[in-house]
Structure 1
């Protein structure tokens, strides 16, 4: 349900709306690419519109170029000189080693507070731990312990050889990002358990790339069904339960800024723009007066919001609900008139401040409000008619084509994250949110890699490259020594008697037919052996 009140947007206004018959709003933007899909018809519910990733588009003179910072060429690992940046460099640029050190410190601190004094996680171990979780995203087993299975067909060497399963579970059990004892009761921030991670990623995402000219704002959901005060239910999402995140992303699919929704009690009093309008203003506070174009759906869009963005030098475009059109609704052609003219008919009005509202008839009526695009130049879109079983060409306003071309940035981020997600269940919500943003960091690092002009690489290969050597050269695997008793000792006559040892932990019985553990050993063979297994173990016929 929407937190913003539509009553804030009056349907009456003293603003003079003029029919768009003498204006040419689109003259300055006459090179828009019309190859993307059209906007879906929307009613008063907040259904998201999906766009497509496109390389084309216009460029205003004042907008910043899409220049992405590339990690400098340097010695990536000790003793290893790299001639060009590697995938791990792009990841470390967004997820720096300083952040890993903070996680290591707080994890060890939490383990100490819980009585685990000998956890002693190191920075290299934590990087290997993160790499293991990345591998689990694109090689999925039903249960976590299967990666360390003794069955040859199940055991995954890249994980099992890097870290033991007990060590992995110890780190996961004590993984922490802040010291709980530093939390003040007066602190109302519900995200304090993730504050160092979220703050660092917010800075590195913005620093790593100059903002693209075309960007979109939409909501994202982090799936979680456990107990959590900020959990939301959005029925039209594939995963309806979870943590809601407001996201600003470029049309390329790079996430620039995000804000986790903490509920109405935390945000305080909303401005005259409403809750949704305030979200847009906060997400756009770093791109003022740079001629950027921002797109959003009808959950956010309103005429006052477009005016506020224009005062900051930001051009806005979005689908708009009928009760937010102020006085434009009376000036536009009615729905009956548009239906008489046929599919593709539209009506446009604008103000002296160059805010244009377009009412367009597709399968149903939609409203598009914009400060940078209007009706012309029109193009045609293909539509499929079920009754006639044929395609028809429909006239489409320029504002709709521009919206469809650049609105899908956040959806593109969701699509990339959903390809190889970390979906291991965990009752602690902050662990789930952390691994989600770890996946987002990998996607953002991949986007930077592609935009740097290096050799093309798909997301799976990129993520595998980052996960393979998260800490440089991993330490050699610690394999358990297996004692094999020579046949001449095992089957010879002698002192084969059980002896009880004083070891702290029992060892696995060496009899192949036994799966138990014991503290008894054979006095002559010096291997762990249950007293009841002596006859079978020392029988030469049982060995064959």
Structure 2
């Protein structure tokens, strides 16, 4: 969640019992956008014994780890160029497709053998599926996200208002509904951990997580936040977060890079048992970031995760943290929390261990926590102005927070475009489809842009390319049309009476005019005496103002109207 003024996001699952700061705060600084005055503060009883002094920002330790693509995408399609389908199949591998086929066939056979079916039941029409058919099934679901219809059966409608020819030519409605009904990812008859509420999704989640980590490594800044998969049915671990677009659903913790690539994720089912005295939020951050620590990365989180204890743990792993902080977690930094500020003022203090608490007053109070040495109370020009044409100034920690937090927001935004999610009776279908058709497609799209640049195609064109490859067998080539040629040939003029002619430059902006239409208007106007011509002046005739220039005279002596 980004903020321009303040971050007041709350969550019912937060941990309020966080450890206090062991190494007492020792320094602070005060600055206002309208004044350069430096003042000292004695603080409250638990910190006033410390020595206070002004402090200058220091340089951050340089990020010391490789990042970006670490596994090349093979060009499986025709030609040597990488196509969108190659990037998508790099995540949804043959092993994952085979898993879908194997468990879907197994579940359908178990259903036929254990259920009492009538003679007219469509289930009796079931035939085992294959990898090729499963890929077409996935392509149809992606197409349904591109072209939304009220109900699934409308895609096979014969009405002129509805129907999709590409879907109808690929698969019958009965076959699609059977595949959707029996879509499965695990053998129900196998034993599973009693406490694992995600056992139906475990093979898929583990496979995708491994693929996400093996292909791309985030850069120096990563963000961790919550995402919601919409679900309003009954579910033991359904969550309610009022600040999200989908307030009810299954919560997924994500770790993403600044470009929106999801590197790791964790589906929330219940609070985990505390690990070595760590709180739930702290455990989530450390688990998600495992493998990215100890190289001076910066983790950006909101006030659901931040605490002094988490900050200390990350510092011990050579990792910086930037985030908003709830006032009840500041503990020994209550001197900052309780300080009254005027709008535009910044107040801060720093601990002996390098933890900084920064309070900034905009329309409301903003309390930030940071461990980056370069952060200070100095206000930075954002390059923007307010309604009064005054420069907008913000602390650098706020700017870095907003910039770093964009990763999760961008991932959720791209996933929400042309979503394939529909109402379902099975919650695990909804979560599985979000991972297959949401997160995986977004990651594949970002990997494709790593090869060809950020403006190669939109997420809509990328999804369209996947549909073309999966359903039609033709990869989509994104060829941007060049400028149309301007033709003045007499041949084309004979074929069409309308053609734009280039007007002479007169030191002002001029529009091109149609030669054929303009000639007819000029001829009719002069022959009917509609205009009175007065050279070099502006004259109003028939409620129309016409300007005649003395130099616009044809070779035959006619005066031209311009």
TM-score by length of 1: 0.74
Deviation of residue 377 (structure 1)?
5.3
1:383 Cα deviation from its structure 2 partner: 8.1
Residue of structure 2 aligned with 1:19, choices 28, 33, 40: 28
Structure 2 CA distance for aligned equivalents of residues 286 and 162 of structure 1: 43
User: What's 1:305 paired with?
Assistant: 310
- Please report how far the alpha carbon of residue 392 of structure 1 lies from its aligned counterpart in structure 2 after TM superposition: 3.4
Aligned to 1:255: 262
* 1:123-162 equivalent positions in 2, closer than 5 A: 123-162=131-170
Residue in 2 that maps onto 1:522: none
1:395–1:271 CA distance, 2 compared to 1 (3 A): farther
- In 2, the alpha carbon distance for the partners of 1:326 and 1:17 equals 14
Q: CA deviation at 1:437?
A: 0.8
Quick one: distance in 1 between partners of 2:423 and 2:300? Answer: 34
Q: Which moved further from structure 2: 319-328 or 425-434?
A: 319-328
Partner of 2:81: 84
Report the equivalent of 1:215: 222
The equivalent of 1:399 in structure 2 is 397
1:329 and 1:112 mapped to 2: Cα distance? 64
Within the alignment, does 1:203 sit opposite 2:210 as a pair? yes
Counterpart of 2:178 in 1: which secondary structure?
helix
Tell me, yes or no, if the aligned pair for 2:108 and 2:182 is still in contact at 8 Å: yes
- Cα shift readout 1:404-430 (whole Å, capped 9, x = no counterpart): 111121111111111111132111001
Q: How far has the Cα of 1:188 moved from its partner?
A: 1.2
**Superposition RMSD in Å:** 2.2
Deviation for aligned residue 1:391: 4.6
Contact 1:16–1:351, Cα closer than 8 Å, also in 2: yes
- Name the residue aligned to 2:552: none
Q: Determine if the alignment matches structure 1 residue 2 to structure 2 residue 33.
A: no
- In structure 2, distance between residues paired with 1:351 and 1:252: 33
CA contact under 8 A between 1:111 and 1:174: conserved in structure 2?
Answer: yes
- Partner of 1:327, secondary structure, is helix
What CA distance in whole angstroms lies between the structure 2 residues aligned with 1:333 and 1:347? Answer: 9
Distance 1:408 1:299, change over 3 A: same
**Cα 1:242/1:271, change in 2 over 3 Å:** farther
Query: Structure 1 residue 326: deviation in Å?
Result: 2.5
Match of 2:186 among 173, 178, 191: 178
- In the other structure, the counterpart of 1:60 is 62
User: Does the C-alpha gap of structure 1 residues 457 and 68 become closer, same or farther in structure 2, counting only changes over 3 Å?
Assistant: farther
Query: Which residue of structure 2 aligns with residue 285 of structure 1?
Result: 290
| Greater RCO (CA < 8 Å, at least 6 residues apart) | 1
Tell me, what secondary structure is at the counterpart of 2:201?
helix
Q: CA distance change for structure 1 residues 333 and 9 in 2, over 3 Å: closer, same or farther? A: closer
CA distance in 2, matches of 1:142, 1:19: 60
Q: Could you tell me whether the CA contact under 8 Å between 2:299 and 2:321 is conserved in 1?
A: yes
Per the TM alignment, residue 447 of structure 1 is displaced from its structure 2 partner at its CA by: 0.5
In structure 1, distance between residues paired with 2:16 and 2:451: 44
Unaligned runs of 5+ in 2: 1-10, 30-52, 113-122, 475-562
Deviates more, 1:366-375 or 1:110-119: 110-119
**Residues 178, 194 of structure 1: 8 Å contact kept:** yes
Q: Is contact 1:4-1:274 (8 Å) kept?
A: no
Q: How many residues align?
A: 427
